[in-house]
Chains A and B, each alone.
Chain A
Amino acid sequence: MALPDHATRLERVWHRTYLIICGLIFFFLVAPIIVIIPLSFNATPYFTFTKEMLTFNPDGYSMRWYDDLLSSREWIRSIQNSFFIAITSTIIATTLGTLAALGLSRREMPARAAITAFLISPMIVPLIITAAALFAFYARANLSQTYFSIIMSHVVLGAPFVVITVTAALSGFDNQLIRASQSLGANQVTTFFKVILPLLLPGIIAGGLFAFITSLDEVVVVLFLAGPEQTPMTVRMFSGLREEISPTILALASILVALSIGLLTMMELLRRRTERQRSG
């Protein structure tokens, strides 16, 4: 976006302004997320920077909210619940979603647009509607307040992300590779596991990460479906934020930000891998 040498003065001023505006928008996007990390080390139970913190006085900082979080049996239990639900539902959603994406990208697939629209719809329908419907459904089957109902619901919510991501990965797939594999004597199964799957893996993992984070973040459905046994961390956070917000929540939030930075890094590495494969 460099300006040409012959740019007028006005153009230069405008360009400078434009970059500043963009900088401010990037600041708006990221600052609120980053700011909670130092605040979670606040030694006082307030949600702002104290004088000690601003002067980098070590007394202004402490790990007490992290201690609070990690020594609370309820918090630990709810974090375990969240991960159990997220991992299980991700495995199912990734399997079902990948299969569906493979079918959807076949040339012969009938009614592709309509079926895709249907498979993606859980992402679009307001969560409160999904939550209420699933609550009534599982309550009638005497399955509300079970891990089963929560995991199944999260498969519903996570699968669209897998379908979208894997379909996108497949759109760049070179079908000649399949023919090449078959011409060399591989049968369909061998071709799938030795040729298609390794090439699709970055896309599948990316889809899986999406499903994972969707489940880990999900609040509304679990608010309806989870009993005291299954309470995941999001429900505890939600009620914590509703009643009296404690800095313990900020400690958990900071850990989650670190987690999303980790996942983002993984995504970026996957993307680079795919790019290398495509070009190489």
Chain B
Amino acid sequence: MTDAAVSPGMGLNQTASKSAPLTTADGKPLKAALRKANGRARRNALLLVAPLFVFLLFTYTIPIVQMMARSVMNPEVANNLPNTSAAIGDWDGEGLPSEEVFAAMAQDLKNGGRSTIGRVAARLNTDMPGLRSTMMGAMRDADEFQAPFKEALLADDDDWGDPRLWTLIKRETRTITPAYYLRALDYEYDQAGEIVPRPENLQVYRSIFWQTAWMSGLITILTILMGYPVAHLLATLPLKRANLLMILVLLPFWTSLLVRTSAWIVLLQQEGVVNNFLVFFQIVDDNDRMRLIYNRIGTIIAMTHILLPFMILPLYSVMKTIPPSLTRAARSMGATPLRAHLTVYMPLTIPGLAAGVLLVFILAIGYYITPALVGGEGGIFISNLIADRMTGSLSQLRLALALATILLVGVLVLYWLFNRLVGVERLKFG
């Protein structure tokens, strides 16, 4: 009965929608009107985001991409020895190049002024000491060179007969070079052009990368150990008292980084408050005051303090949403407090823990100010090395940019992970 009553209606509806599509009041098809309205809403949303998006693109993203591009640039040799660069491409690297290459080199030496050849010579001299004088000497005599140029150059200086010189020039005529990245990872080209590890006493960067990673890891662990109990306390206290205690977490969060760093300098100095306190209570001897700053310990203590709120806040916001009845239920079913905590409560806090861990670690590996001020010689991070190399020569600068790119890629991978696991929209302060 019911079926029979309904089915004609259904059929009628179907035929109606087939023959005359639903329309809006002014006669447009509903589907098209809806799509149009949705399109307009999308456009409006995009228009609101556009100003900041475009602003960041031009004053932030593009500068960073430009900077990264400079870390592989190597235009000196190609630009300043144009003929040689063109000719040497055909050389197979066996023995010495042909007469044409020597002729091109003689031409370049003749055309190039003192500063042009000087720039090339300085660039190549870093890879092959002594080459500067060879090139500058040949430049001065270039006007007198006669064909055959091979003999002329060899007569000018024996070094022109060294195949390694030509291998080097061929390699450096490439305008894009991985050389700075090799250096940033403590590798280099040897004289035959093979990639080899740098001599042990010159290896610095890998160990600083490693130090940055393990110190950041240690700091992250310390912030977990200190942040977890505090976040738990805040999440389980009555709201009024939790808000009051929350101020103690937010005060350091809102206090200038420099202020917090200077506070630690004051506290941890050999004549500072902590050491005086320890001496007063005869925990350490007056002549044997602890070195707590200008080393790794200083960096770790200060950075743990500075980053601790970044662990507490995401943990707290997740813990607050966990109903206390869950732990109570576990207890009532016979779990010990420890077991209830480990098997019921802790797994639920993992989203907050992941957010805190990634946030603290990401922020820590890029730190510059605090290690620079309290790290001394031993407690520095990769950022400090980058800043240091940035003010050096052109090749030092490119090396700094290569180091910066490696650091940036690492940070972006972690940030991507953060987005996958946590989501940026979950980020909140206070």
Contact = CB atoms under 8 A, between A and B. Distances in A.
A182 interface: no
Contact of A115 (B49, B59, B62): B49
Contact of A159 (B56, B70, B260, B362): B56
A256 B256 contact: yes
Contacts of A242: 372-373
A1 B255 contact: no
Chain A: number of interface residues, binned into ranges: 35 or more
Given A47-B266, A159-B56, A108 B45 contact: yes
B137 interface: no
B425 A128 contact: no
Contact of A116 (B248, B372, B424): B424
Interface string A96-109: 11011011101111
Given A36-B262, A128-B368, A238-B369, A103 B48 contact: yes
Contacts of A271: 430
Contact of B251 (A164, A217, A264): A264
Given A100-B49, A106-B45, A35 B305 contact: no
B263 A33 contact: yes
Contacts of A253: 256, 258-259, 262-263
B59 A156 contact: yes
B267 A133 contact: no
A26 B276 CA distance: 22
Interface string B255-273: 1111111111111010111
Contact of A241 (B63, B245, B373, B401): B373
A170 B263 CA distance: 37
Contact of A21 (B229, B363, B369): B229
B45 A109 contact: yes
B233 interface: yes
A30 B252 contact: yes
Interface string B367-386: 11100110000000001001
A234 B258 contact: yes
A150 to B, nearest CB: 12
Nearest to B337: A11
Contacts of B179: none
A118 B56 contact: yes
A116 B252 contact: no
B45 to A, nearest CB: 4
A220 B97 CA distance: 50
Interface of B is mostly: helix
Contact of B429 (A14, A165, A245): A165
B255 A129 contact: no
A33 B255 contact: yes
Interface string A112-151: 1101111111101111111011101100000000000000
Contact of A109 (B49, B51, B267, B383): B49
B21 to A, nearest CB: 23
Interface of A: 1, 11, 14, 18-19, 21-22, 25-26, 28-30, 32-33, 35-36, 39, 46-49, 96-97, 99-100, 102-104, 106-110, 112-113, 115-122, 124-130, 132-134, 136-137, 152-153, 155-156, 159, 161, 163-165, 167-168, 206, 210, 213, 216-217, 219-220, 234, 237-238, 241-242, 245, 249-250, 253, 256-257, 260-261, 263-264, 267-268, 271
Interface of B: 38, 41-42, 44-53, 55-56, 59-60, 62-64, 66-67, 70, 226, 229-230, 233, 236-237, 243, 245, 247-252, 254-267, 269, 271-273, 276, 305, 308-309, 337, 362-363, 365-369, 372-373, 383, 386-387, 390, 400-401, 404, 407-408, 411-412, 415, 419, 423-425, 427-430
Given A35-B273, A261-B251, 20 more contacts: A22-B229, A22-B233, A25-B230, A28-B305, A32-B267, A35-B267, A103-B47, A104-B45, A108-B42, A113-B425, A120-B424, A120-B427, A128-B404, A132-B390, A132-B404, A137-B62, A219-B369, A234-B256, A241-B262, A271-B430
7 contacts: A33-B255, A33-B260, A102-B48, A117-B424, A128-B386, A249-B262, A264-B250
